[in-house]
Structure 1
C-alpha cells in the first residue's frame, strides 16, 4: 500500500489530456488482480471448451447451456476453483436414465464455500431443480430441538426394519475435500482430533486413523474401507488414506467421518428403526461439536440464504439425510409410486435384500432439521399404510397427498 502511495506522488494533473484517459492504465494496474488472471490456463474459447452433455442424466447436464457456461467461464474463487472443477463430478458420473430410485443426481460439487457465491447463477438453478426450492433473500432456519419431532419412535416394526441419520459439516476458511490441499486436510484432521478428544470426555469414543485401521485388531471392520470410484475420479480421494479418520463411540451408535465427502459427517444408525433416538443423538452431538470447534476458533460454514454449506448442493441447508429401511412387497410395483414419492418429497432405493427399500428425504433446504426428519417420519408411516391397503386389495386414491408437502405442519 505504501509503495502504491509513493507511485501516486510522481503524477501531476496534466493540462492537455483528460485525467481519466491518461491515468486509466495506472488506475487499473493498482486494482487487485482477478483470481482467474493469476493462472495461465491453456484453454480455448467457451465454445471450444463446452462439455459434451449427450446422455448426461444429471441436473447439471439438464441445466447447463453454452450461454450459462460462458458466463461462468472466466471466474475463479480465491482458492483457485474454476467452473470446470464444479461440473467435473457430473461429467465423470453422468448418471443413468433408468436408475433404481428414479432419482437424478446433482452432477456437481463446490470446491469451497465461495463457489456458491461466485457461481450462484448456476448453483441456484441446481438447488431449484433438485430441492424444488428457490433461493431468495429469506433466512434458512435451524431447529436442533429433537423434542419437536413427532412420532419418530412409533413405526410399525413389522415393516420398519432399521434407520439412519447423517449430518454433514464443513469448516470456514478451508477448501472442500474435492479441492483442498494435503496441508489443509492435515490441519482439518488436527482440529478434529482436538474436538473429538473433548467430545470423548462426555461421550466415550475412539478415533481411528485410516492409515492404521488395517493393522488395528480393534478397528471394528473399518480397515477394509476404500474410497468409491467416483471419489477417486473427481479427486476427493487424493493421497488416500492420508489425513482421513473415523471416530466411533463406545456404544457403537455414533460415527464421525473426518475428511471424506465433507470435512465432518456424523452418522447414527439403529437396528430398531427408532428415528427419534437417532435424531436425539445427532442433534446433541452436532451442537457439542459446533461449540468445541468455536472454542478452537473454527466455525462451521453457515450462509443465511443457504444454511449449512457443504460440498454437494444436494445437502445444503441442513446437511441432513434421514432414512428408514422398510419392508415392502406390493407398493414398489404400483403405477403411482413415483408420483406418491414426489409429493412426499422422498426417494426410495432397493437394498441388496429382496423386499427391503431405503426411504430417504429429497430436500435438505427450505426445512429445519426437525422438518426434514418429520418428512421421513410422516412419509414412511403413509407408505406402510399404503402397503397394508394393497395387501388387502384396497385402493390408494384416498391416501395420496393432493400436493407436495411443504413442512412438518402438514398432516397425513
Structure 2
C-alpha cells in the first residue's frame, strides 16, 4: 500500500501530520468495524482544498489512528492532548444584545451527535443506518409536547409528514404547505462528503424532524447521525440555547451518544468534536462590511469565526455575516454561548460607534 500523497496545493491538516513513518505503522490497522486509515483520508486526498482532510469512520478511529488525529486535533482546537472535556447546559439568562432587532436577523445553535456502538456516516452500512434511524425516531417520540412536531422521511416523494410523538395533539403554529416541506430537508452531501462515503445509499434512512413552531429541528444521518438544531428569528440567544438544552436532556434519556473524556462528543469530522456545538447569528453590519480588516481582527480577538451569508466558502451578501463560536473542545456549551454573546455585543457596539462617526 503506497503512501497517500496530498496535492501540493493542499492545506489539509491531515496532510501536514501524516508522515511516511506514521502511515507505515498504521496502514494495515483497522478499527473493530473494519475502517482503515486510507478510508479516513480519501476525501482529503481527492479534494485539495479540504481544511481538515480526514474523517472518522467510528468512535474507535480516534484511538486506532491517534498518531494522525491527536496532533491534528491539538492544532485545530488548540487543546493539549489529555485535557479533560466537561459539559454544562444549565439554564442561561443573558440579555438580548440587540433588543430593537436592528442588527441580528436570526440565531441558530446546533450540535452534532452520534450514537455509541454504531459506525459513523462515512462507514455505516445500510442495515446499521436504518437501526440508527429507528432508535432516533423512538427517542423523538418521547419528546415533550413543547417540542412535538412532524417527521419527514427523505425516502418518500412526495414528502409525507408523520406526527411526532404519534399521539401528540396540536394545531401547528405555522401551516406548512407541501412546497414548504422541502425547505426543511437537507441536501445530499457535497464533494467532500461524497469522497468520504457519507452519501452512500442516498437517501436511505435519512430524515428530518421539525417542531410545530419550526424552531427546533433534527437532521438524521446527514454528516453525523444527528444534527440537533434550535433557531429563532431574533437575538435572544438564551431562549434558543435553553430550548436546545431541554431537547438534549430528553434525547439523552433514551439515546447513548459516542463520548470520550478528553475529546467530548465524537463526530465524523474532528472539527466537530467536544461540545459539537456551533452557536451563531446572522447579523447585518453595514459599516463593518466596509471595514472588513477591522471586523476580522475583532472576530479573532473575540474567539469567534465569520463566514459568508450562506455559510462556509460563500460571499457576504447585503452586509449580512454568519458569525459563530470558534472553539468547541475544552469548553462547555454554556461557555460557548457566553463567548458568542459577549462577542456579538462588542461587534454591535463597534458598528454603532462607526455609525456615529459618519
Q: TM-score range by the shorter chain?
A: 0.7 to 0.9
Change (3 A) 1:259 1:95: same
Displacement of 1:77 in angstroms is 0.7
Q: 1:241 maps to which residue?
A: 203
Note the 1:9-408 alignment, pairs <5 A: 43=1, 48-95=2-49, 105-136=51-82, 138-147=83-92, 150-151=94-95, 153-155=96-98, 157-199=101-143, 203-216=147-160, 218=178, 220-222=181-183, 225-230=186-191, 231-293=193-255, 299-332=256-289, 333-351=291-309, 353-393=317-357
TM-score (normalised: structure 1): 0.75
Displacement of 1:215 in angstroms is 4.1
Q: Which has the higher contact order (CA 8 A, sep 6+)?
A: 2
**Secondary structure in structure 1 of the residue aligned to 2:106:** strand
**Secondary structure in structure 1 of the residue aligned to 2:86:** coil
TM-score (normalised: structure 2): 0.86
Displacement of 1:116 in angstroms is 0.7
On the 8 A contact 2:216/2:229 being kept in 1, the answer is: yes
Displacement of 1:222 in angstroms is 4.2
**Secondary structure in structure 2 of the residue aligned to 1:198:** coil
Unmatched tracts of structure 1, length 5 or more = 1-42, 97-104, 294-298, 395-412
**Secondary structure in structure 1 of the residue aligned to 2:111:** strand
Change (3 A) 1:64 1:336: farther
On the 8 A contact 1:109/1:313 being kept in 2, the answer is: yes
Change (3 A) 1:287 1:354: same
Change (3 A) 1:342 1:245: same
On the 8 A contact 1:213/1:222 being kept in 2, the answer is: no
**Secondary structure in structure 1 of the residue aligned to 2:141:** helix
Displacement of 1:180 in angstroms is 0.4
Structure 1's consecutive aligned runs of 4 or more residues displaced over 4 angstroms after TM superposition are 222-225
Q: CA-atom RMSD, angstroms?
A: 2.1
On the 8 A contact 2:94/2:237 being kept in 1, the answer is: no
Change (3 A) 1:275 1:201: closer
Unmatched tracts of structure 2, length 5 or more = 161-176, 311-316
Listed one character per residue, the Cα deviations across residues 382-402 of structure 1 (whole Å, up to 9, x for unaligned) are 1122222233449xxxxxxxx
How many residues are treated as equivalent by the alignment? 332
Listed one character per residue, the Cα deviations across residues 126-172 of structure 1 (whole Å, up to 9, x for unaligned) are 21221111222x4211001032x533x33252111111000111111
On the 8 A contact 2:263/2:329 being kept in 1, the answer is: yes
State the structure with more CA Rg.
1
Listed one character per residue, the Cα deviations across residues 307-364 of structure 1 (whole Å, up to 9, x for unaligned) are 1111111111111100111111232434344333222221111215321000011110
Change (3 A) 1:386 1:68: farther
